[in-house]
Structure 1
């Protein structure tokens, strides 16, 4: 069964991950995010507790 033979596929898998981690990943990480996730609204809201009718 050729699925159990790891000789050609392990080399392809390891070389693909080596290319990804060494070349592509730093290039992808260098892009700036256009949507800054910081909170622009610094106001705090005052919330009142819920009044239950049966208490």
Structure 2
């Protein structure tokens, strides 16, 4: 008993591609937002340390 896979119509393919595009855009936006938040935290930490707190090289 072999079943044939359901046929995928061009409309279904277009819907799947649109969904994949939306998800990819959401992931890119999320990554950009997370990077920006990290930069903000790093800047705030640098300001909290003050100008005297420069890392020394070994």
TM-score calculated relative to the size of structure 2: 0.37
Structure having the larger proportion of residues in helix = 2
Structure showing greater Rg: 1
